[in-house]
Structures are given as C-alpha cells and as structure tokens.
Amino acid sequence: MAELTSDEYSENDFLTTEELSLFNESLDRVIKCESFLDRFYDRFINSSEQTARIFEGVNMQALQSKLAKTLTLMSLANTEPWRVDEHLKGIGQYHQGLSIPKILYSSWRNSLVSTLHSCDPEFHPEIERVWHKAISVAIKKMHEGYN
C-alpha cells in the first residue's frame, strides 16, 4: 500500500465496533513481538534527516517503554475518548515544546504501520487501513494540544 498523508483519512471518524476488534487483536499480537519498538524507531528515526536530528541524544530505552503504553492509548482514544483526550493533548503540547512540526506525524504513522507488516503474522490490508484510522484519531487529539 502506498504511503498516505493524514488528509486521506477523516480524522473525526472513530473506529466501528468491527474495526476496533481488528485493531485490538492486532495490537495484542504486535505487543508480543519483541523487536517491534526497536524496528519502529529505527525506521522512523531514519525516515528523514530532520527526524534523525530530533532524536539525537534521546534516551531510547525510556522512550520505548512509554510508547508501548501509548499504543494502548490509541485504542482508548477510539472507545473511551473522554478518558484519554486530555492526556493525548498533553503529549501533543509536550511535542510542541520539543519543536516537533505537525507535518512529521504522518511519517510517524507510516513508519509504525510499515513495521506492523513484519510483526503481526495476520496482517492484511484491512488491518492496515484500521491502524491508519486509529492513529489518525490520536494524532488529531495530539495536534489539538498545539497552540
């Protein structure tokens, strides 16, 4: 599947019940994939010089443990948004503080979804579409934290 820009998804649409089951089942498999976070960050950090510069000197071990929890937040952003919206906005505000431009988020999402191909043994195009949609909902919230 070709790389997608954030504009190609309606970010106001939450996942349907069926999509949510596909997403959560895939998430369960992915979380068990040992090298997932390593592979994702390797791909994302090397996706552009700008991204590589942003990550210089960052403690990746600490960041990886936080990201695993953040992936679960993506699911909650689609089911119980009232519980996690403020938290996602806060993460967005934190990223603004790190001078991270909004434009780099589609690269984050594309790197993550590309990594899933090798980590979810049951991966198929419908699951890919659902991941893009779920992440878009969370990114929208993070962007609301930018002012």
Rule CB under 6 A: which residues touch ligand HEM?
A: 51, 54-55, 58, 63, 66-67, 70, 91, 94-95, 98, 100, 104-105, 108, 135, 138-139, 142
In the complex, the smallest distance separating the C-beta of residue 56 from ligand HEM, rounded to whole angstroms, is 9
Give the burial class of 1: count Cβ atoms within 10 A of its Cβ; 0-12 exposed, 13-18 middle, 19 or more buried. exposed
H-type alpha helices, 32-124: 36-45, 49-54, 60-79, 81-97, 105-119
In the complex, the smallest distance separating the C-beta of residue 61 from ligand HEM, rounded to whole angstroms, is 11
In the complex, the smallest distance separating the C-beta of residue 63 from ligand HEM, rounded to whole angstroms, is 5
Name the residue nearer to ligand HEM (CB basis): 24 or 51: 51
- Are 111 and 38 within 8 A, CB to CB? no
- Are 87 and 73 within 8 A, CB to CB? yes
Name the residue nearer to ligand HEM (CB basis): 95 or 119: 95
